[in-house]
Amino acid sequence: MVTIESKRITPPKRLLYGPGPSAVDPRAYEAMSQPVVGIRDPYLLDLLSEIQSGLRNAFGTRNEATFPIPGGGGAGMEAAVSSFVLPGSKFAIFAAGLFADRMTVVAQRQRATVARFEKPWGEVFSAEEAEEFIQRQQPDVVGFVQAETSTGAYQSGRAITAAARKVNALVIADCVTSLGAMPVELDSVGIDVAYSCSQKGLSCPAGLSPVSISPRAYQWLQSRPEPPYTWYLDLALISKYFEPAHVYHHTPSPPLYYAMHQGLAAIEEEGLQNRWARHQQTNKQLLAGLERLGFQPLVKNPDHRIWHLTTVIPPAHVDEASLRQKLLERHNIEIASGLGQLSGKILRIGTMGPLATEESVDFLLESLADCM
Amino acid sequence: MVTIESKRITPPKRLLYGPGPSAVDPRAYEAMSQPVVGIRDPYLLDLLSEIQSGLRNAFGTRNEATFPIPGGGGAGMEAAVSSFVLPGSKFAIFAAGLFADRMTVVAQRQRATVARFEKPWGEVFSAEEAEEFIQRQQPDVVGFVQAETSTGAYQSGRAITAAARKVNALVIADCVTSLGAMPVELDSVGIDVAYSCSQKGLSCPAGLSPVSISPRAYQWLQSRPEPPYTWYLDLALISKYFEPAHVYHHTPSPPLYYAMHQGLAAIEEEGLQNRWARHQQTNKQLLAGLERLGFQPLVKNPDHRIWHLTTVIPPAHVDEASLRQKLLERHNIEIASGLGQLSGKILRIGTMGPLATEESVDFLLESLADCM
């Protein structure tokens, strides 16, 4: 048996320039060592209500049903899909990346009939394409990924929600990578159900998935004919803890709540629009520098790029795996490879939260140049 | 919009004498403010392997497949039941409390045929009862709760596993409250699949559910005819992250890993058997004191009591809700009411980890006397 009794936690100080987990806001670190309290402690419930308010700000919504559920973005995805996509119903998915594929699998496990509109990874969908697909499929629910972490492609979803509304379909959006760093704007885009994570644009540690549900989706959920297969991720049950009666469903993690509160506070301190602008600015700076080093952007259209997650194809002579290894060893820098069909073909470089600054981008570019 | 930008996290210092969340080990608090690292960072993977070793120690098992999954005890329950109970299969549940009822609901949502052996809350099951029930039902899987958090009743499970083995049924045990504070002993009891939580006997914050799978159950899982409804809590997928290839399934939460590592380290430092003895000792002291104050134990047989979660019926003149309120206001002490059919009828008092000491029990008893 390994004996761990005398070991203390002394992690290396990595610079997390990957797609997430991203650098954690110093305020969040400070918060996590504060004492835990019980699940209905007045202090926790006050904090929770402020977290919900901060999440509404980041999501761009007035949805009352906005709260963090336990687990990561995958928990949010399964909660959204299993709660809103009935077995046997038609679920139309816009698919151009790994997380749209994951949404497909999750929906198939719910015994939904999945219709996929596929495009090459890195592309997004036009209003005409969305309109044609949705009119042809007449789905009950539509799913899309606002910021595809596997490709670096962003689309607000306006093109999709407009078409979905015409056939009265609910729209589920994967906002795992967009929340907190670029526009999500649930209400103005017209998204019904959104989920995200804590460890990317919110600059918090992983462990919570913020979820938001529009009034019409919430109403649908209350009259759902039978419960979903999942109990743990059933949003009809989970949401009751976040309503005034605070009905027990699961035990929340106070340190993760504390961290999220402070991550959201940092966003309000800076101003959401200022934070977006900062991420947009560093994206331009980073991509210009990468192009000088011979990298090419995977997402061709500048309007379709995630600001804080830049995806690039390395020059032919550069081996991406050994470049990543060198960056970690020489500079304590973590960046990421591609996923799925892009594995080994691209690099994914995040400049999020505390690392979305001119100095941090300069440092990253210098370190890259040093390791090539 | 509530503005939270200038607020810092300053929770009251509660004394958590409830059924969990329990007092967090100081080592775990210190660990959580350490820097996060990426999901395949060598530092995290080393730590994880030590966490797995520490969990095997606490679980009393040599099961290779022993690891923490994201979420609380409910996530562990759904992961275990949905992964090992096939739709249409027979699942026999020993039911004498809220968490056995929850296991029933989770299994029904998996479309299993559930057979329940019900006894009054607070009781446990004899070898003869288990044998008769299991022989009559011939189940594919058997479920029981080792430490019923809603009633304070404990049973090792030896009576049940012996009977289950005769019909070749897998056994799932809810060890949410037993792990880390009293005997779990998966291997010697003969439990195939166990799940627990981080915020009770392990003295860590909530957010992780340790799971352990026996070799024969693991083998069964690899040849399961079709995947479960859940993707996020499918143990066949989750387990791949904890094997040498570390296949991406979800993003683990480093602060929760750090805390769990230190919680387990504290257990090894003290010695598991010493820790059990400490909890057993404080239980006797607490119950003796409570009886002097006029409380009666809910669990009549001393051998069937959880050592670190004492459940008592208050004297007739004591209103349990106002007693709890006074304890919180005057002494910053949290204890808990009953759940479900015992709501308002009992008190549940935890003496776990740092609070399982003679001084802490004395302080609690004095505070109780002061508030009655």
ipTM of the complex, rounded to two decimals: 0.97
CATH number (2.60.40.10, 3.40.640.10, 3.90.1150.10, 3.40.50.180) of B27-267 reads 3.40.640.10
DSSP letter assigned to residue B241:
G
**CATH code for the structural domain at B272-371:** 3.90.1150.10
- Tell me A36's DSSP state: P
B28 to chain A: which residues are within 8 Å by CB? none
Are B248 and A207 within 8 A, CB to CB?
no
Q: Which of B131, B124, B138 is nearest to B163 (CA)?
A: B131
Contacts of A246 in chain B (CB under 8 A): none
Return the pLDDT at A2. 57
For the stretch B265-281, pLDDT in tens is: 999 999 999 999 999 99
For the record, the structure tokens of A38 come out as: 């019980």
DSSP B88-139: T-EEEEEESSHHHHHHHHHHHHTT-EEEEEE--TT----HHHHHHHHHHH--
Q: Looking at residues B5-13, what average pLDDT do you find?
A: 91
Q: Which of B3, B255, B16, B342 is nearest to A267 (CA)?
A: B3
A39 and chain B in contact, CB less than 8 A: yes
> Which residue among B2, B4, B106 sits closest to A231, beta carbon to beta carbon?
B106
B117-156 pLDDT tens trace: 999 999 999 999 999 999 999 999 999 999 999 999 999 9
| pLDDT-above-70 percentage for chain B | 99
Q: How far is B127 from chain A (nearest CA, A)?
A: 31
Q: Note the pLDDT tens digit of each residue in B200-243.
A: 999 999 999 999 999 999 999 999 999 999 999 999 999 999 99
Q: How far apart are CA B31 and CA B46, in angstroms?
A: 15
**Ordered alpha helix ranges (H), A93-214:** 98-109, 127-137, 158-166, 186-189
Q: How far is B354 from chain A (nearest CA, A)?
A: 13
> Does B6 sit within 8 Å of A269, measured CB to CB?
yes
- Cβ within 8 Å of B, A 177-216: 197, 199, 205-207
Look up residue A342 and give its DSSP letter. Answer: G
Mean pLDDT, 10 residues at a time, chain A of 372 residues: 79 97 94 95 96 98 98 97 98 98 98 98 98 98 98 98 98 98 98 98 98 98 96 98 94 98 96 98 98 98 98 96 97 96 97 98 98 94
Chain A interface, mutation test: which of B3, B6, B13, B33, most A Cβ atoms within 10 Å?
B33
- Give domain limits for chain A: 27-267, 271-371
Phi/psi for B134 (5° steps) reads: -70, -40
Query: Does residue B176 contact residue A228 with C-beta atoms inside 8 Å?
Result: no
Question: pTM of the predicted model, to two decimals?
Answer: 0.97
- Per the CB < 8 A criterion, the answer to whether B44 and B38 are in contact is yes
pLDDT recorded at residue B5: 77
Residue given tokens 């600001």 in the structure block: A307
pLDDT for res A5: 77
| Residue B1: band (very low, low, confident or very high) from pLDDT cuts 50, 70, 90 | low
Residue given tokens 């049940």 in the structure block: B160
B70 strand-pairing partners: B208
CB within 8 Å: A207 and B206: no
Residue B103: closest CA among B123, B76, B125, B126: B76
Helix (H) and strand (E) counts for chain B? 13, 15
Torsion angles phi and psi, residue B326, rounded to 5: -65, -40
Task: Give the homologous superfamily in CATH for domain A271-371.
Answer: Aspartate Aminotransferase, domain 1 (3.90.1150.10)
State the pLDDT at residue A6.
Answer: 82
pLDDT grade for B2, boundaries at 50, 70 and 90: low
Interface of B with A in 268-307 (CB under 8 A): 268-269
